Amino acid sequence: MTILALDHVTVRTSKLEESRDFYVDVVGLSVGSRPSFKFPGYWLYVNEHPVLHLFDEDDDGNLAKYMGSRETSGVGAVDHVALRCTGIDEFRERFAAQSVEVLERTVPELGQHQIFLKDPNGVTVELIFAADGN
């Protein structure tokens, strides 16, 4: 038995469109195909892989019937979601153009650069770059 990789993260939200816009316009994921569930949502992709599933809690109860009820704000025990990236300067330009508040720091010994930002639900998103930003 072998675990190959983290497949995806799911965020339940009462701010579905705002969350989609954040992850597409700010983070740079793209909206892709999604099965025809009976509740609203989006699957957001990196290349050909859906890495983030957004589900709208404000539907007619179909999400709760399918997955059970859960809190839709904050992060509970999950601290943050991290994405490995390249092109740090382009991300900085995007964030500045959209007035997105970020926190930057470098990991000691590894030299990896981190950019942290919050999504509309309060979920912290970490973007990780190699020491040279690429």
Q: What is the pLDDT of residues 75-130, one digit of tens each?
A: 665 668 899 999 999 999 999 999 999 999 998 888 899 999 999 988 889 999 98
Domain, as residue range, for 15: 9-129
Sign of the alpha-carbon torsion through 23, 28, 29, 32: positive
Examine the pLDDT at 74 and tell me if it is beyond 70: no
How far apart, in whole angstroms, are the C-alpha atoms of residue 22 and residue 53? 13
Structural domains counted in the chain: 1
| Domain assignment present for 114 | yes
Examine the pLDDT at 32 and tell me if it is beyond 80: yes
How far apart, in whole angstroms, are the C-alpha atoms of residue 53 and residue 44? 6
| Domain assignment present for 4 | no
| Domain assignment present for 39 | yes
Q: What is the pLDDT of residues 12-29, one digit of tens each?
A: 888 999 999 999 999 999
| Domain assignment present for 51 | yes
| Domain assignment present for 100 | yes
Residues 43-65, mean pLDDT to the nearest whole number: 84
What pLDDT is recorded for position 73?
Answer: 62
What pLDDT is recorded for position 29?
Answer: 97
Which comes out higher in pLDDT, residue 95 or 56?
Answer: 95
- Buried/exposed 45-76: b ≥16 CB within 10 Å, e otherwise: bbeeebbbbbbbbebeeebeeeeeeeebeebe
| Domain assignment present for 2 | no
Residues 38-48, mean pLDDT to the nearest whole number: 92
What pLDDT is recorded for position 93?
Answer: 95
Helix (H, G, I), strand (E, B) or coil at 101: coil
What pLDDT is recorded for position 57?
Answer: 75
Q: Tell me, what CATH number does 98's domain have?
A: 3.10.180.10
| Domain assignment present for 134 | no
Identify whether the C-beta of residue 41 lies closer than 8 Å to the C-beta of residue 53. yes
| Domain assignment present for 35 | yes
